Amino acid sequence: MRELRSVLLAAMLAASAGWPAAAFDPDEGKPDRSVIRTAQKQIHSQIIAERVEGIKRLRDMPAQDAVKLIVPLGFTDPAEDVRRAAYETLLTWKDDRQANIFLLKALEKETRANKGSMTLIAPLIAVLLASESADTWQELGKFLDGYAAASNDGVAAIAIVADELGKQADKQSLESLKRMTRLKCYTGTFAIRRAVVQAMILVRLPEAVQELMSLLPDVDGEIRGDILRHLAAVSGRSFGPDGKAWLEWWDKNKDDFKFPASDVTTPTAVAASPGTPTYYGLAIQARRIVFVLDISGSMNGSRLMTAKRELMQAIDGLPEEASFNIVVFSDHAAVWQRILKPATPAMKKAARNFVAVLYAGGHTAAYDALDAAFRFDAEAVYFLSDGAPNAGKIASPAAILAAVAQTNRTRRISIYTIGIEPGEPGGPLDMFVKTLAEQNFGVYRRVDQ
């Protein structure tokens, strides 16, 4: 499945050329009404504006009749305007029980189908999330928790819905995102939790700021970092992870609060608060970390000596509640431990011993190292290299970036990158590690020794 990028309905259908055909089959026996006939004629028109009008015309029909046309026809239309009209029209009946039952059945049918299509799955979830019906919410919640637990497709679908609700950035989207925080899969799945929080960050409404503050006590690691960076950007204050202090500030300032003209919503290199471990100056906020170290031939000498020292210092600074691992690479990748290890004094000592005896030699199989790092249940990867990829399963920088982005769709791992003497800005290594960080929620640090 391709990553979906535009507004909600555009995102759901942007990959229409690549998605399998929808498995949904509407009930037969449509009522013979003139408005239905007119709407059908318009929906099949060559003119986009006519198709939009046809979808909107269905708002005058009973919900159970209209949804049978909107779901298979509106959501599979190649035009963004038509898909948006379909979504907005379905919201008209978001609290209609019969319409919701139909949508739930359509959703279950799509996810059971061998070739079930995200074209329908994602917008159906979005519409049902907007419902204030207790029965609908109970059934949808049970479905989504099971869907997320069953496959990566479920995690991807729910995360995609969160992404696109964030892009809509209105009050209805915020309410849907707040409902998502009550899902079991939100609590239990890092990728979904992070997608929901990052979507709330995109909503430039005071209510979103207050909601993010209220979430602080229940999050940690990279997700807490996402919230804190955003709160600092919109408030100009820094209370760290003290949720109570943030809420007290909000109570005093919410009536006069205004968003800054431009709000930085992407990760930036910020000064670490006292006690926060760092690696080459980058704050380490994650609780599950993988360090990836280049030991190819070009790292020989002072580069590797400095990298070892920085890595040992970073590991020594990890709190005991953190867990970590190390991946090293040259012609191929090698891992220190089979699983993430707790940052106890004994494990830190073992890691230092492992790092101390590393030596440089060989080529730069960057993809193999990233692939190995992604096999662990990490929140963040810290990737250090001094050379553009030139070996391994995938050697092309562009192909590596695409493969990592595809894998990270359902993981939401931050990749922080350190380029050691990366050459001129815009050069092969500089662009590779910079883009790798930018596309994966991380920060790039240039080190010119």
Strands 278-279 and 333-335: unpaired
Measure the CA–CA gap between 217 and 212, rounded to whole angstroms. 10
In a domain, 245, yes or no: no
Tell me the pLDDT band of 187, cut-offs 50, 70 and 90.
very high
Structure tokens at 294: 């280049």
Q: Is the pLDDT of residue 60 over 90?
A: no
Tell me the CATH number at 187: 1.25.10
Is 289 found in the same domain as 140? no
Range name among 8-17, 99-108, 207-216 with the lowest pLDDT average: 8-17
How big is the chain by its Cα radius of gyration, in Å? 25
Measure the CA–CA gap between 15 and 59, rounded to whole angstroms. 27
Decide: 352 and 391 in contact? Cβ < 8 Å. Answer: no
Is 189 found in the same domain as 298? no
CA 403 to chain centre: 16
Tell me the pLDDT band of 34, cut-offs 50, 70 and 90.
confident
Given this model, what pLDDT does residue 13 score? 36
Tell me the pLDDT band of 5, cut-offs 50, 70 and 90.
very low
Boundary-marking domain end, from 203, 221, 236? 203
Given this model, what pLDDT does residue 321 score? 95
Decide: 195 and 224 in contact? Cβ < 8 Å. Answer: no
3-state secondary structure of 147: helix
Q: Which residues lie closer than 8 Å to 342 by C-beta, 6 or more apart?
A: 320, 322, 323
Tell me the pLDDT band of 116, cut-offs 50, 70 and 90.
low
- Domain with 292, as residue range(s), is 278-447
Boundary-marking domain end, from 203, 230, 263? 203
Measure the CA–CA gap between 407 and 106, rounded to whole angstroms. 28
Given this model, what pLDDT does residue 262 score? 67
Given this model, what pLDDT does residue 272 score? 54
Structure tokens at 356: 């101390």
Given this model, what pLDDT does residue 31 score? 52
Q: Please identify which residue in the block is written with the tokens 């925080």.
A: 181
Taking only the tens place, the pLDDT of each residue in 100-110 is: 999 999 999 98
Q: Please count the other Cβ atoms lying within 10 Å of the Cβ belonging to residue 60.
A: 11
Q: Is the pLDDT of residue 22 over 70?
A: no
Q: Is the pLDDT of residue 23 over 70?
A: no
In a domain, 120, yes or no: yes
Taking only the tens place, the pLDDT of each residue in 254-299 is: 999 999 986 555 555 444 566 789 999 999 999 999 999 999 999 9
For the segment 330-347, the average pLDDT, to the nearest whole number, is: 98
For the segment 183-195, the average pLDDT, to the nearest whole number, is: 96
- Across the chain, what does the average pLDDT equal? 88
Given this model, what pLDDT does residue 3 score? 39
Angle between helices 152-168 and 134-150 (to 10 degrees): 130
Given this model, what pLDDT does residue 306 score? 97
Boundary-marking domain end, from 179, 203, 227? 203
Decide: 191 and 410 in contact? Cβ < 8 Å. Answer: yes
Given this model, what pLDDT does residue 285 score? 93
206 versus 27: the higher-pLDDT residue is: 206
Is 303 found in the same domain as 171? no
User: How many domains is the chain built from?
Assistant: 2
Is 293 found in the same domain as 172? no
Q: Please identify which residue in the block is written with the tokens 């099949």.
A: 44
Q: Please count the other Cβ atoms lying within 10 Å of the Cβ belonging to residue 408.
A: 20
Range name among 74-83, 127-136, 271-280, 424-433 with the lowest pLDDT average: 271-280
Is 115 found in the same domain as 12? yes
Measure the CA–CA gap between 291 and 366, rounded to whole angstroms. 13
In a domain, 116, yes or no: yes
The amino acid at 174: L
Secondary structure of the chain: what % helix, strand, coil (to 5)?
55, 10, 35
Tell me the pLDDT band of 68, cut-offs 50, 70 and 90.
confident
Given this model, what pLDDT does residue 165 score? 94
In a domain, 253, yes or no: no
pTM of the predicted structure, to 2 decimals: 0.85
Interior angle at CA 73, CA 102 and CA 163, nearest 5 = 75
Measure the CA–CA gap between 431 and 75, rounded to whole angstroms. 38
Interior angle at CA 189, CA 188 and CA 194, nearest 5 = 120
For the segment 18-35, the average pLDDT, to the nearest whole number, is: 47
Given this model, what pLDDT does residue 417 score? 98
293 versus 70: the higher-pLDDT residue is: 293
Given this model, what pLDDT does residue 25 score? 44
10 versus 205: the higher-pLDDT residue is: 205
Is 430 found in the same domain as 297? yes
Taking only the tens place, the pLDDT of each residue in 222-245 is: 999 999 999 999 999 988 888 889
